[in-house]
């Protein structure tokens, strides 16, 4: 490519955003792509998730650029601005069905087995990028960095939190021959059988069909390599490939314990490690309660994603009040809090839909957890929590003073909110105790 791939991806994303709601134009693009045997509906997938642009092979990216240019005829979509004459010539002859298909099962040679879950091999990075472009390798938000959220019209999509400068630096070093071989770690997982087979005599590791292959560490290196190969397809860069065979829980803990060139937020690391059993409870709430999709894994909430609070706020609140000591206690507390938050959200659905509602303030979730602990201790039926929530709404100014008395999620503010929630519970439910 003549110019930075990222520049073209940005232009394409803007162009796609303008036309994706015009059915006739979408049909025209799909028709032009089908002339090269690109599968029906391919453009619709890109329009629904522009991040897929980063996964396209250079020829398919060029083909999409040419198709959009034929429709819009704007100078910044002219493929000649981004691709060499040879690349454009090859693109015009491009036939998707003739493209070499990379699919599982895959065989890796000269592999060293460390134990039944860990394997290491040296491999050319072009192979891993090829797997990525063929969507064999995926990115799992569950076991990686917390997502960034992009608002697209009425939709909010999650995209990887990428440090573009780091990606560019890696690509530059690879292109200049100054990149020191590093390691990329992939996780291979299957819910059914073992996802890999290793032959110790031939040292061949086979990743079996049906396996889920994701980047566990090194996504920036992979993105940098993809960018470098877009400029120089003949680039030959060796890399150390680590294959892990972890379930989701182990994968999260592994990512939480390693350090990378792009530091992960402290809150996300604590969540991933789950050394604190409070995070087990938070995960339970994220999956099973009315808070599903409403809890941010980052240090701040995303309003566009509709978050109410963060994993770190909830975990600290649980430690401050319930103080679970082991997984058995965590499971019991998680079950109770699931019922509590289901009742709370169902009873005040309209309030939680208003962004400026006191009930939606991230710090209020410290008060909710403290209130839940008091209701359980006093054996108060959950529906009666409405008395406390109504009291909070009636004393909104007072509670906002508590919330604004310091930094959100600081120990001092959390304790202040906890103490006042417990005081409120004692006022309202003292007769229920015992």
Question: Token pair of 343, please?
Answer: 């009742």
Cα–Cα distance between 67 and 223 in angstroms, integer?
25
> Which pLDDT score is estimated for 279?
85
pLDDT greater at residue 326 or residue 178: 326
Cα–Cα distance between 299 and 302 in angstroms, integer?
10
Q: Which among 220-234, 256-270, 280-294, 398-412 has the top mean pLDDT?
A: 398-412
Place 434 in a pLDDT band, splitting at 50, 70 and 90: very low
> Which pLDDT score is estimated for 20?
87
Cα–Cα distance between 124 and 122 in angstroms, integer?
7
Instruction: Read off the pLDDT of each residue in 265-290 and give the average, rounded to a whole number.
Output: 75
Nearest to 94 by CA among 63, 56, 129, 67: 63
Instruction: Read off the pLDDT of each residue in 195-208 and give the average, rounded to a whole number.
Output: 90
Place 274 in a pLDDT band, splitting at 50, 70 and 90: low
pLDDT over threshold 60, residue 376: yes
DSSP run (H or E) holding 156? strand 155-159
Q: What percent of the chain has pLDDT over 70?
A: 85
pLDDT over threshold 70, residue 58: yes
> Which pLDDT score is estimated for 368?
97
Cα–Cα distance between 93 and 386 in angstroms, integer?
67
Nearest to 417 by CA among 380, 372, 369, 373: 369
Place 344 in a pLDDT band, splitting at 50, 70 and 90: very high
> Which pLDDT score is estimated for 422?
96
pLDDT greater at residue 366 or residue 22: 366
- Please tell me whether the overall predicted TM-score, pTM, comes out greater than 0.85 for this model: no
Mean pLDDT of the chain: 84
Cα–Cα distance between 272 and 311 in angstroms, integer?
10
Chain CA centroid to CA 136, Å: 17
Return the SS3 of 151.
strand
> Which pLDDT score is estimated for 262?
52
pLDDT greater at residue 429 or residue 296: 429
DSSP run (H or E) holding 227? helix 219-231
Q: What is the pLDDT of residues 221-271, one digit of tens each?
A: 998 888 888 777 777 788 999 999 887 767 666 656 654 445 666 666 566
Q: What percent of the chain has pLDDT over 90?
A: 37
Return the SS3 of 37.
coil
Q: What is the pLDDT of residues 72-129, one digit of tens each?
A: 888 999 999 988 887 888 888 887 665 556 788 899 999 999 988 899 999 999 999 8
pLDDT over threshold 60, residue 178: yes
Instruction: Read off the pLDDT of each residue in 382-398 and give the average, rounded to a whole number.
Output: 96
> Which pLDDT score is estimated for 400?
95
């Amino acid at each position: 490519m003549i110019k930075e791939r990222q520049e073209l991806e940005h232009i394409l994303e803007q162009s796609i955003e303008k036309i994706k709601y015009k059915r006739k134009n979408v049909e025209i693009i799909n028709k032009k792509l089908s002339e090269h045997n690109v599968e029906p509906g391919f453009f619709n997938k890109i329009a629904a998730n522009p991040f897929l642009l980063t996964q396209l092979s250079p020829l398919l990216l060029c083909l999409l650029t040419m198709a959009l240019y034929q429709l819009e005829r704007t100078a910044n979509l002219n493929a000649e601005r981004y691709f060499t004459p040879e690349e454009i010539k090859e693109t015009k002859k491009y036939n998707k069905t003739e493209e070499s298909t990379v699919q599982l099962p895959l065989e890796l040679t000269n592999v060293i087995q460390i134990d039944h879950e860990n394997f290491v091999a040296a491999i050319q990075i072009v192979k891993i990028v090829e797997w990525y472009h063929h969507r064999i390798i995926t990115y799992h938000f569950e076991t990686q960095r917390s997502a960034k959220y992009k608002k697209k019209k009425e939709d909010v999509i999650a995209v990887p939190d990428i440090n573009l400068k780091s990606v560019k630096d890696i690509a530059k070093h690879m292109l200049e021959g100054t990149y020191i071989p590093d390691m990329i770690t992939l996780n291979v997982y299957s819910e059914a059988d073992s996802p890999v087979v290793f032959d110790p005599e031939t040292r061949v590791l086979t990743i079996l069909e049906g396996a889920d292959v994701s980047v566990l560490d090194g996504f920036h290196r992979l993105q940098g390599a993809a960018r470098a190969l877009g400029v120089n397809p003949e680039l030959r860069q060796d890399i150390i490939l680590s294959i892990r065979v972890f379930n989701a829980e182990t994968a999260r803990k592994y990512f939480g314990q390693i350090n990378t060139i792009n530091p992960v937020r402290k809150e996300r690391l604590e969540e991933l490690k789950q050394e604190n059993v409070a995070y087990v409870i938070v995960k339970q709430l994220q999956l099973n309660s009315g808070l599903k999709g409403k809890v941010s894994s980052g240090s701040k909430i995303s309003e566009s994603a509709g978050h109410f609070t963060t994993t770190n706020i909830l975990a600290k609140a649980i430690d401050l009040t319930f103080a679970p000591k082991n997984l058995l206690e965590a499971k019991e507390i998680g079950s109770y809090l699931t019922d509590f938050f289901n009742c709370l959200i169902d009873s005040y659905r309209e309030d939680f839909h208003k962004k400026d509602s006191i009930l939606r303030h991230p710090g209020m979730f410290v008060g909710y957890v403290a209130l839940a602990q008091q209701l359980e201790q006093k054996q108060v039926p959950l529906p009666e929590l409405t008395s406390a929530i109504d009291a909070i709404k009636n004393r909104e100014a007072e509670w906002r003073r508590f919330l604004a008395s310091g930094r959100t999620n600081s120990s001092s503010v959390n304790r202040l909110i906890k103490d006042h929630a417990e005081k409120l519970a004692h006022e309202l439910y003292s007769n229920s105790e015992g």
